[in-house]
């Protein structure tokens, strides 16, 4: 494979950065069967603090597993939900979710983790798209993010009649480029392996037709537009659902996987935040508050105080992960991360966990003298990184083949291998897993935590007693996110006073709800009570815990 002169300038820095990573033993991603067995083994070994549930079975017959870790019987202990596989092509998400569960449970006898599990529950759903991600382990590998539902993607009344074909018998579906003046694609000036659309504004003329590898089986002049599957989990959620878009489904939450996951989470009142491994990303770069979008009837911007929290969490994420490239925030319409925020009302964070650093060309290299300065191209950047870093094959050099649908044309098969753009090589998963496990533990420590403080009693005569206290949130996260206040789905902190026999409340209410309780803030409350005795105060909410105290009035 052709190497470039600029590698001499950038190779040393990149190789040093990945030196310790690449020396790790080569491991592989785990398929659904291996993941299922690992989850069952974890539950068996740690039965006192785990509960394994199959939320449903997909149309492909695979379980959607949910592993609960912590005081499983407690519904009033703050919970963090972690999901992988929202996009089946991001196979690292299920692996990272499972690895977090493994490390958490293997460390559960240490004081710090035992104390953590005494106060936080974790709801881990490693893979919500097993039908899609299983394609990675198939004899025919192609990037897939759809489930196994048969769909008529080209609206011709037939299902799955135009799938991919492996024309060069290498077990991978890549691309075809066909030399044709009617084409709209050209090679990138910085890397002839990469194809880009011709820019007519710059006077560029197309030279190639670019399609995926296969035949036009149904003779409709389209290629591979109606293969096996399905519906994409990350397009099937109700927030900004895109009607009539391929992969979105006939209506929101049309799929058994989507409904099962949402039903499970809607019953978990104690979830204070959600972390998603997938394409949506507001951790390497936070979402920005937009006043006009926030004031629309259908809110489409993160709200201001939540944006402040997102910014702080993002900064810490980058510190822990070592991420420095700061790509743009990525959001998917109909996606899970957005649903978890705008509809579920929880602070919602997402990350692909794997970022390709921007590889800059040194000034004295050949590319810097080219007449036209090209804009940043992610695929060219990936190729520069991969040429210097990856030890395994990731690109199929363009190779001439004969194609019956294009007689008398020069046809080549080639391009990036499936999955390589979105997923780290298995050999560096150890490093990525360690940093993200550290981040998740830190994130859980930011939970809202109820505390009743500054308790004071005072006898004011005539058998009357004043009871004062502060309801304090000692965590960084608020008891309710700003969007949670708007959705009215997250439970408000509740303060209830239970009296002894013969006692009466002269002033104050026996039950009070707080509209908000920000992190590191408190709410003062006071009652006037007639008669001596012991009163009980219960304060909190499922997502921040509940504290109960008894106070003697005498």
SS3 24: coil
Q: Is 241 in the same domain as 206? A: no
**Alpha-carbon distance 56 to 262, whole Å?**
12
For the residues of 6-19, what is the DSSP string, one character each? THHHHHHHHHHHHH
**Alpha-carbon distance 389 to 355, whole Å?**
13
Specify the pLDDT at position 14. 32
Q: What is the rounded (10 degree) CA torsion for 391, 392, 395, 398?
A: 100
Q: 79-83 and 63-69 as β-strands: parallel, antiparallel, unpaired?
A: unpaired
Specify the pLDDT at position 326. 66
Specify the pLDDT at position 4. 32
Q: Is 437 in the same domain as 322? A: yes
In a domain, 363, yes or no: no
In a domain, 370, yes or no: no
In a domain, 362, yes or no: no
CA 8 to chain CA centroid, Å, is 36
Q: Is 233 in the same domain as 105? A: yes
Give the helix, strand, coil percentages of the chain, each rounded to 5.
25, 25, 50
Token pair of 163, please?
A: 């799938």
* 144 in Cβ contact with 132 (< 8 Å): yes
In a domain, 539, yes or no: yes
Q: Is 345 in the same domain as 493? A: no
Q: Is 288 in the same domain as 190? A: no
Q: Is 192 in the same domain as 319? A: no
Q: Is 331 in the same domain as 433? A: yes
Q: Is 243 in the same domain as 121? A: yes
* 278 in Cβ contact with 350 (< 8 Å): yes
Which uninterrupted H or E stretch holds 260?
Answer: helix 256-266
Among 364, 397, 416, where does a domain finish? 416
Specify the pLDDT at position 156. 58
In DSSP terms, 326 is beta-bridged to none
Q: Is 55 in the same domain as 125? A: yes
Q: Which of 386, 462, 455 is nearest to 424 (CA)?
A: 386
Q: How many CA atoms lie less than 13 Å away from 35 in the CB half-sphere?
A: 35
Among 367, 399, 416, where does a domain finish? 416
In a domain, 192, yes or no: yes
Token pair of 110, please?
A: 């240490």
In a domain, 13, yes or no: no
Q: How many residues comprise the chain?
A: 554
Q: Is 251 in the same domain as 277? A: yes
Token pair of 284, please?
A: 């390497």
Residue 258 belongs to domain with CATH number: 3.40.630.10
In a domain, 369, yes or no: no
SS3 508: coil
SS3 240: coil
The whole domain housing 57 covers 31-136+229-354+425-444
Specify the pLDDT at position 3. 35
CA 99 to chain CA centroid, Å, is 15
Q: Is 431 in the same domain as 456? A: no
In a domain, 19, yes or no: no
Domains of the chain: total: 3
CB atoms within 10 A of CB 158: 12
**Alpha-carbon distance 218 to 228, whole Å?**
14
In DSSP terms, 399 is beta-bridged to 413
Q: What is the pLDDT along the chain (554 residues), one digit of tens a residue?
A: 333 333 333 332 333 333 333 333 335 799 999 999 999 999 999 999 999 999 999 999 999 999 999 986 667 899 999 999 999 999 999 999 999 999 999 999 999 999 999 999 999 999 999 999 999 999 999 999 999 988 766 565 665 655 788 999 999 999 999 999 999 999 999 999 999 999 999 899 999 999 989 887 666 667 666 667 799 999 999 999 999 888 999 999 999 999 999 999 999 999 999 999 999 999 999 999 999 999 999 999 999 999 999 999 999 999 999 877 666 767 778 899 999 999 999 999 999 999 988 887 765 555 554 544 557 888 999 999 999 888 889 999 999 999 988 999 999 999 999 999 999 987 789 999 999 999 999 999 999 999 999 999 999 988 999 999 999 999 999 999 999 999 988 999 999 999 999 999 999 999 999 999 999 999 999 999 999 999 999 999 999 999 999 999 99
Token pair of 334, please?
A: 């109909």
Q: Is 455 in the same domain as 439? A: no
Specify the pLDDT at position 28. 78
Residue 458 belongs to domain with CATH number: 2.60.40.10
């Amino acid at each position: 494979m052709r190497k470039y002169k600029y590698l001499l300038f950038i190779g040393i820095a990149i190789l040093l950065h990945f030196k310790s990573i690449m020396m790790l033993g080569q491991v592989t991603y785990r398929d659904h069967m291996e993941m299922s067995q690992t989850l069952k083994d974890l539950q068996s070994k740690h039965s006192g603090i785990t509960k394994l549930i199959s939320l449903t079975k997909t149309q492909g017959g695979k379980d959607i597993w949910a592993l609960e870790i912590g005081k499983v019987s407690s519904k009033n202990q703050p919970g963090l939900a972690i999901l992988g596989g929202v996009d089946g092509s991001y196979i690292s998400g299920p692996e990272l979710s499972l690895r977090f569960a493994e490390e958490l449970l293997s460390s559960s006898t240490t004081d710090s983790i035992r104390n953590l599990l005494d106060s936080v529950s974790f709801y881990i759903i490693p893979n919500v798209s097993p039908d899609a991600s299983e394609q990675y382990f198939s004899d025919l590998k192609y990037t897939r993010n759809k489930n196994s539902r048969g769909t008529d993607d080209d609206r011709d009344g037939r299902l799955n009649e135009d799938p991919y074909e492996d024309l060069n018998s290498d077990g991978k579906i890549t691309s075809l480029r066909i030399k044709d003046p009617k084409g709209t694609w050209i090679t990138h000036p910085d890397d002839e392996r990469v194809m880009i659309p011709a820019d007519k504004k710059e006077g560029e003329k197309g030279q190639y037709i670019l399609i995926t590898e296969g035949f036009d089986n149904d003779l409709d002049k389209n290629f591979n537009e109606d293969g096996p599957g399905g519906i994409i989990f990350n397009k099937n959620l109700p927030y900004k659902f895109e009607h009539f878009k391929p992969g979105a489904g006939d209506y929101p939450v049309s799929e058994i996987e989507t409904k099962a996951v949402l039903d499970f989470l809607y019953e978990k009142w104690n979830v204070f935040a959600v972390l998603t491994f997938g394409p949506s990303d507001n951790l390497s770069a936070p979402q920005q508050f937009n006043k006009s979008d926030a004031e629309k009837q259908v809110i489409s911007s993160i709200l201001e105080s939540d944006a402040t929290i997102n910014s702080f969490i993002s900064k810490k994420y980058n510190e822990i992960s070592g991420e420095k490239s700061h790509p743009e925030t990525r959001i998917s319409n109909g996606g899970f991360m957005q649903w978890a925020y705008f509809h579920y009302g929880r602070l919602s964070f997402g990350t692909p966990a794997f970022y390709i650093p921007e590889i800059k060309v040194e000034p004295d290299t050949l590319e810097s003298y080219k007449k036209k300065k090209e804009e940043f191209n992610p695929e060219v950047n990936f190729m520069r990184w991969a040429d210097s870093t990856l030890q395994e094959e990731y690109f199929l050099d363009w190779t001439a083949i004969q194609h019956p649908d294009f007689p008398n044309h020069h046809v080549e098969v080639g391009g990036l291998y499936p999955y390589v753009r979105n997923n780290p090589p298995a050999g560096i998963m150890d490093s990525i897993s360690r940093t993200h496990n550290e981040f998740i533990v830190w994130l859980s420590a930011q939970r809202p935590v109820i505390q009743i403080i500054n308790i004071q009693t005072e006898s004011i005569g005539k058998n009357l007693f004043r009871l004062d206290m502060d309801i304090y949130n000692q965590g960084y996260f608020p008891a309710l996110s700003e969007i949670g206040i708007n959705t009215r789905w997250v439970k408000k902190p509740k303060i209830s006073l239970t009296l002894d026999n013969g006692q009466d409340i002269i002033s104050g209410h026996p039950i009070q709800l707080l509209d908000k309780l920000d992190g590191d803030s408190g709410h003062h409350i006071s009652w006037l009570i007639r008669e001596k005795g012991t009163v009980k105060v219960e304060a909190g909410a499922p997502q921040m815990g509940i504290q109960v105290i008894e106070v003697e009035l005498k």
